[in-house]
Structure formats: structure tokens, C-alpha cells
Amino acid sequence: MPIPPTRILSSKKAQDTSSSAATLIAVIALLIIFYLLFIPPSFRDQILEGNESTTSTNSAIIGNETILRATPGTLSSISSQEMQHTIPSLTLFSKKESKILGTTASLAVRSTIFSYKNASMKFNMADLENTDNVLLTFTDTDTKGNLIIKINGNEIFNSVVTSENPEPISIDKSKLVQGENVITLEPERAGWRFWRVNRHNLGRMQVTGDVKDISRQKSMNVFVITATERENAKRTILRFLPDCATGKVGKLNVLINQHSVYYSVPDCGTTAIIEFATDILREGENTIVFDSEEGNYIIDMISISSEMKTQFQPAYYFDITSGMIQDVRNSKYSIILKMTFVDSTEQKSAKININGRETNLYQTASTYTKNLNDYIIEGNNAIKIVPDTSLEVTSIEVLKQ
């Protein structure tokens, strides 16, 4: 039976209407997709999250969001802007003492027209620099003619000896040498007077000198500088208090690592403050020497301080909203601290202070993570890392996970 024309037209019209609706729905869906792709991630997460009854896991919905990211670099155990090294008090003094440098019981010299006899004695100068007032003493019990005395070949006496106990003969220090010295004793030559006998019988001959004991005139101490302090010292200052008698002391020389940083007669009873070049210091052991030229010193309150360029334990801050606190309490996500280090072999040891509460880090791995759910507070939060030694930190992150 033939279909009426009116029914055919109605069917085609319904098909066209259905096709247009499907197209419109597809266009709307495409626009929604593009909208979601181009809006900020935080708004997109809120739209997709929906209400709390969703069956998807919260970590999948939220993903990782960085709340804080910092690149600290080298963190140090130094917490203050000034490092100070205290040196123990010390006493410096020198003492002069008269010492016998050489002696002999007896010597005889004789000269005639037919014979000639001289004599010699040796003595040792162990510390020529610190020996003064060198004297030669002797007795002469049988004297005839001039007595000639030479020291290391240099004549120091040529005269008649007028008494059995002559005055001591001063020996010029410039004629002496460090170590062994030789005194030569010679009689005056008889010459053409063939009947003459020149002679000297010498006894109790000795060389004395005033030797200064400098063993307590110098004092050395050691102090240790870390690599961080050495590299970041802006100013270095030496302080000390000299207790001494004004007018009775010589110059005081202070050397740090063999560099003289002070050489003067100090103002007794007044603290000396000396700034010196930072590059004199070195990593590890350093030496400081106090050396006095003369007199007695008590050196007290000795310190070396380094003023640092920067603070090496900065705090890192991040904000937690009330909504985030509620989400953490409802186990929607966690707040995670993540630290990345330069290497995975060196031991890393530090205390981590989170809002006044401490936790310990002790590992060799290159990555450290810590759940902060029990540490965070609403509002401003702070993290501070206090290493036991220097710590090379590539990055610090606080994440929503």
C-alpha cells in the first residue's frame, strides 16, 4: 500500500531535527573541552573535583602542586653573623743569665831569639744572637813583654800585663761567630834582643757572656677555620689585652700563619684591636704566634673573630590556607617536604625545624622526603635546616600530593 506523501515528509523532518541536535551537542562538548584545556589549572581542578562523594582518588584529582620551591645551595652549621675563636692566655718573658762559654786551667807562652811558643783555647757560641757582654778573664803569674791576644785571627789585645789579675777584656761581638771560636795567645817576639825572654804563665782563663733565655719569649697556639668561614669571611679582627709594665717592654710581634699582623710596643693595660686581611686565614689549622723582643708580658683575652658576609641558615616560608588544612585533615591530600642534595654518597646530618618543632635528617641518599601533615599550621609556616656540617642542597620543595 503506498505511503502517503505527508508521512514521508514528517519522517524526514524528524531525522533532520535529530541530526541538528546531535551536532549542537558535539559542538557544545568540544567547546567545554577547549574551555577546560585553557583555563588555569587551579580552576580546572575545582571544576573536575566536584563534591566530596566522587569515587576517584584525591591524589589523582589534585595531582602534585608546588607550594614552595627554593634553591639554597650550601647550608652551613654557622648560625651567627660572627664567628669567634678564643685563644688561651699566655705569659712571655726573657731572662739574661751569665754563663761560662769556655775555660782552661793554664796556658804558657814563651819567646826567645831561638824559640817561639804560643797557645790557644776554643769555646762555643751556641746562641750568638742572644749573647752579649762577652768577656775574657785570666791570671798571669809570670809576665814579661807584651801579651798578644787574638780572637778568630783578629787582634783584641796587645799590651803589657801589669797585674796578676788584670781587668777583664771585652770581646767585640762582631769578631765572634756562631759555633766554634778560637782565642790565640802569643808572646812578644824577642827580635834582635837575643838576651830577652818574653813569657806569660796564664791560669784560670775563661770566656763568659750574658745569654738571654728566649724559650719563654715566644708562644704559639693553633685555631681551626672551617671552609665555610674561610670562604665567606668579610672582616677578620684580632683582639688581645697586654698586661705589662710601660717602659720596661720591647716590641711585640704577632704573626698569623707566619704573616706579621702587629709589630709595636703595645699600650699596656689597653685592649689592642687589629683588623687583618681575610686571605691570611686558611681552611683547617691556623697558627698564631706572640713574640716579644724584651720584657715580661701577660697576654689575656685573645680572640680572632670573622664577620660573615651572609647568614647560612635562612628560613623558608610558605602559606597554608584554612581550606588546605581542612583538606589535609579529611585526607584529601598530604603536604610533603622534599629536599634534593648534590650527591648520594656523602653522609648528610641536620636538624629540620618546622614551625618550632624539630625532626632529624640522617642519610646518604640524594633525596629526602617528610610528611608535614602534623607540622603545618594555618597561615604562615616556616622551615629551617640546621646542618651538623656544611650541606649542599640543590632544592627544597613543599608539595601537595
* Region of poorest pLDDT, from 61-65, 92-96, 294-298, 378-382: 61-65
Task: Place 80 in a pLDDT band, splitting at 50, 70 and 90.
Answer: low
Q: Could you report the per-residue pLDDT of 105-122, keeping only the tens digit for each? A: 899 999 988 888 999 999
CA distances from 344 to 304, 341, 363, 392, 394 (A): 36, 7, 9, 11, 12
d(C-alpha 335, C-alpha 64), whole Å: 10
Please classify residue 349 by burial: count the beta carbons closer than 10 Å to its beta carbon, then call 0-12 exposed, 13-18 middle and 19+ buried.
Answer: middle
The secondary structure of the chain in percent helix, strand, coil, rounded to multiples of 5, reads 20, 50, 30
Strand runs labelled E in 244-347: 252-256, 259-264, 272-276, 284-292, 297-308, 315-320, 335-341
Q: How long is the chain?
A: 401
Confidence (pLDDT) at 213: 82
Please classify residue 388 by burial: count the beta carbons closer than 10 Å to its beta carbon, then call 0-12 exposed, 13-18 middle and 19+ buried.
Answer: middle
3-class DSSP assignment, residue 227: helix
d(C-alpha 87, C-alpha 38), whole Å: 67
Residue with the bigger pLDDT between 35 and 327: it is 327
Do 62-77+312-400 and 96-213 agree at the fold level?
yes
Q: What is the CATH number of domain 82-94+215-308?
A: 2.60.120.260
Please check whether the domain covering 62-77+312-400 is classified as CATH 3.40.50.300: no
Task: Place 62 in a pLDDT band, splitting at 50, 70 and 90.
Answer: very low
Mean pLDDT (the chain, rounded)? 85
d(C-alpha 161, C-alpha 143), whole Å: 7
Task: Place 83 in a pLDDT band, splitting at 50, 70 and 90.
Answer: confident
d(C-alpha 287, C-alpha 221), whole Å: 6
Does 37 have pLDDT greater than 90? Answer: no
Please give the CATH topology (third level) of the domain spanning 96-213. Answer: Jelly Rolls (2.60.120)
Going from N- to C-terminal start, the domains of the chain cover 5-60, 62-77+312-400, 82-94+215-308, 96-213
Q: Could you report the per-residue pLDDT of 6-26, keeping only the tens digit for each? A: 444 444 444 555 566 667 777
To the question of pTM greater than 0.75 for the whole model, the response is no
Q: What is the percentage of the chain residues whose pLDDT exceeds 70?
A: 84
* Region of poorest pLDDT, from 24-33, 264-273, 283-292: 24-33
Confidence (pLDDT) at 157: 95
Confidence (pLDDT) at 64: 75
d(C-alpha 39, C-alpha 41), whole Å: 6
Cα 14 → chain centroid = 92
Give the cell for residue 315: 628560613
Q: What is the percentage of the chain residues whose pLDDT exceeds 90?
A: 61
Confidence (pLDDT) at 323: 92
Asked whether the beta carbons of 241 and 271 are under 8 A apart, the reply is yes
Task: Place 256 in a pLDDT band, splitting at 50, 70 and 90.
Answer: very high
Helices 41-49 and 5-38, interaxial angle, to 10°?
130
3-class DSSP assignment, residue 28: helix
Sign of CA dihedral 145, 146, 152, 153: negative
